[in-house]
Chains A and B, each alone.
Chain A
Amino acid sequence: MATPLKNAKGLGSAKHGLGHWITQRVTALALLPLTIWFVTIIALMKDSSYDSALSLVSNPFNATFLILLIISIFWHAQLGLQVVIEDYISNKTKRMSLIIIMKFIMTAVGALTLLSVIRIAL
């Protein structure tokens, strides 16, 4: 199929714009069912006690979906925040520094959360 895709590939100073754009949409797509699933199980928890939460998260299916949810959230958020920073910070040094700091924080928090879920589930 001939699409305008070839015109967008490899453009821009970093050559990564198209990949960024597509990943933002793919993670959005993944987040649709994962978000609905997450809101549903949290809203339908029979109580908010430690034991209930522990049994919920330690269920292997729930733990798997939680891991997928966390990866998708932080990947999607990090891409979105990058665009926001790029749009509003005109000073190149400040812009790059802020993007790197933001990505470090999002990666670290995402890793911490993944480890927590894995620790509960195992």
Chain B
Amino acid sequence: MSDALKINKSGSKPRPLSPHLQIYKWQLTSIMSIGHRASGIALSFGSFLIVIWLVALATGPENFLLVNNIISHWFGQFVLFGFSVVLFYHMLNGIRHLSWDLGYGFELSTVYKTGYSVLVVAIILTTITWLAVWLY
């Protein structure tokens, strides 16, 4: 008997288990689904950046200068860039999820179209945002 079947505790009849995640072929749909959850977790922590900025601003110029120096450093900018990419991805894919909740966009071809659109628009919005930061 394989180890997978021994997990069953009832002892009577081993029930079949679904294949483990790594068995499945990678697809845009599954990656974007996992990506939505992963980006949500990342953004929960990313929101602490906004918290730190606002708390530093409320506690005075010295603290704000310290936070500002960290943000202005290349690594700080890199983190903020990553934050913006993940934010736009989660926001746009969230719109996709809301449309599914309303019952629209379940056609497989549509699922792929909206999926690729999310990725393209996320790149465009990130580019516009950082161009605005650097040029304005």
In the complex, whether B17 has a CB less than 8 A from a CB of chain A is: no
The yes or no answer to A73 lying at the interface (CB within 8 A) is yes
Number of interface residues of A (CB under 8 A): 33
Q: Does B136 contact A (CB under 8 A)?
A: yes
Q: Among residues 62 to 113 in chain A, which have CB atoms less than 8 Å away from a CB atom of chain B? A: 66, 70, 73-74, 77, 80-81, 84, 106, 109, 112-113
Q: Is the CB of A28 within 8 A of B98?
A: yes
Stretch from B21-29, B65-73, B108-116 at the A interface: B65-73
Question: Within 8 Å CB of A70, what residues of B?
Answer: 50
Chain B residues lying within 8 Å of A31, measured Cβ to Cβ, are 91, 94
For A109, the closest partner residue in chain B by CB is B51
Main secondary structure, interface of A, reads: helix
A48 touches B72 (CB 8 A): yes
The yes or no answer to B31 lying at the interface (CB within 8 A) is no
Distance, CA A46 to CA B53, complexed state (A)? 17
Which residue of B has the minimal Cβ distance to A46?
A: B136
A116 to B63 alpha-carbon distance, docked (Å): 13
- Residues from chain A with Cβ under 8 Å of B58 in the complex: 115-117, 119-120
Judged by a CB distance under 8 angstroms, whether A35 is at the interface is yes
Contact check, B87 vs A113: say whether CB atoms are below 8 A apart. Answer: no
Please give the distance in Å from B61's CB to the nearest CB on chain A. Answer: 5
**Are B55 and A48 touching (Cβ within 8 A)?**
no
Residues of B within 8 A of A80 (CB): 40-41, 44
